[in-house]
Structure 1
Amino acid sequence: MNIPLIDLKAQYNSLAEELNKVTLEVLSSANYIMGTNVIEFEKEFAEFIGVKHAISVGNGTDALIIALKAMGIGEGDEVITSPFTFFATAESISAVGATPVFVDVTADTFNIDVTKIEEKITSKTKAIMPIHIFGQSADMDEINEIAKKHNLLVIEDACQAIGGKYKGRNVGSLGDVSCFSFFPTKNLGCAGDGGMIVTDNDDLAIIIRALRTHGSGENGQKAYNLINGIKEEVAKVEGANDTVYNPLKYYNYLIGFNSRLDAIQAAILRVKLREIKNWNSKRRDIVNIYNEELQNESLVTPICKECNEHVYHMYILQSENREEVLEKLKSAGVATGVYYPVPLHLQKAYKNSGYKVGDMPVSEYLSHRTFAIPVYPELTKEQVKYIVESIK
Structure 2
Amino acid sequence: MPADTPATPALESRFPNVGTTVFTVMSALAVETGAVNLGQGFPDFACDPALIDSVKSAMDAGYNQYPPMTGVPALREAIAAKTTALYGLPCDANAEVTVTAGATQAILTAILAVVHPGDEVIVLEPCYDSYVPNIELAGGVAVRVPLTPDGFRPDFDAIASALSEKTRAIIINSPHNPSGQCWTEADMHQLEALLAPTDVLLISDEVYEHMVFDDLAHQSAARFPGLAARAFIVSSFGKTFHVTGWKVGYVVAPPSLTAEFRKVHQFNVFTVNTPMQHGLADYLTDPAPYLNLPAFYQRKRDLFRQGLEKTRFRLLPGQGTYFQCVGIESLAVPERELGDADFCQWLTREIGVAAIPLSPFYGEGFDQRVIRFCFAKKDETLLKALERLARL
TM over 0.5: yes
State the Cα deviation string for residues 305-332 of structure 1 (Å, max 9, x = none).
xxxxx43232222213455576456666
Aligned to 1:60: 103
Q: Pick from 70, 73, 81: which aligns with 1:47?
A: 81
Q: Could you say if the C-alpha distance between residues 130 and 327 of structure 1 is closer, same or farther in structure 2, counting changes exceeding 3 Å?
A: same
Q: Does 1:102 align with 2:180?
A: no
Counterpart CA distance in 1 for 2:259 and 2:343 is: 52
Q: Pick from 119, 141, 155: which aligns with 2:189?
A: 141
Q: Pick from 289, 292, 298: which aligns with 1:284?
A: 298
Counterpart CA distance in 2 for 1:339 and 1:186 is: 24
Residue 356 of structure 2 aligns to a residue in which SS?
Answer: coil
Residue 299 of structure 2 aligns to a residue in which SS?
Answer: helix
Q: Does 1:364 align with 2:373?
A: no
Which letter maps to 1:364? F
Q: Could you say if the C-alpha distance between residues 285 and 17 of structure 1 is closer, same or farther in structure 2, counting changes exceeding 3 Å?
A: closer
Pairwise CA distance, 1:104: 0.8
Q: Could you say if the C-alpha distance between residues 185 and 338 of structure 1 is closer, same or farther in structure 2, counting changes exceeding 3 Å?
A: farther
Aligned to 1:261: 272
Q: Pick from 129, 152, 157: which aligns with 1:87?
A: 129
Maintained 8 Å contact 1:339/1:370: yes
**Structure 1 unmatched runs, 5+:** 215-256, 305-309, 347-362
Aligned to 2:250: 196
Alignment of 1:142-221 (within 5 A): 142-162=190-210, 164=212, 168=217, 170-173=219-222, 174=224, 175=227, 176-180=230-234, 182=236, 184=238, 189-199=243-253, 201-214=254-267
Pairwise CA distance, 1:186: 6.5
Maintained 8 Å contact 1:318/1:370: yes
Counterpart CA distance in 1 for 2:343 and 2:269 is: 45
How many residues matched?
A: 320
CA-atom RMSD, angstroms?
3.5
State the Cα deviation string for residues 288-309 of structure 1 (Å, max 9, x = none).
33334534642222315xxxxx
Aligned to 2:155: 113
Residue 213 of structure 1 aligns to a residue in which SS?
Answer: helix
Q: Pick from 115, 122, 128: which aligns with 2:170?
A: 128
Aligned to 1:38: 72
- TM-score (norm: length of structure 2): 0.68
**Structure 2 unmatched runs, 5+:** 1-33, 332-339
Maintained 8 Å contact 1:59/1:196: yes
Q: Pick from 98, 115, 122: which aligns with 1:73?
A: 115
Q: Could you say if the C-alpha distance between residues 279 and 205 of structure 1 is closer, same or farther in structure 2, counting changes exceeding 3 Å?
A: same
Aligned to 2:20: none
Which letter maps to 2:371? T
Counterpart CA distance in 1 for 2:109 and 2:66 is: 19
Which letter maps to 2:104? T
Pairwise CA distance, 1:167: 7.2
Counterpart CA distance in 2 for 1:37 and 1:63 is: 13
Residue 207 of structure 2 aligns to a residue in which SS?
Answer: coil
Percent of paired sites with the same residue: 15
Alignment of 1:300-315 (within 5 A): 300-304=314-318, 310-315=319-324
Q: Could you say if the C-alpha distance between residues 259 and 110 of structure 1 is closer, same or farther in structure 2, counting changes exceeding 3 Å?
A: farther
Residue 204 of structure 2 aligns to a residue in which SS?
Answer: strand
Which letter maps to 1:211? V
Counterpart CA distance in 1 for 2:347 and 2:218 is: 40
Counterpart CA distance in 2 for 1:104 and 1:151 is: 22
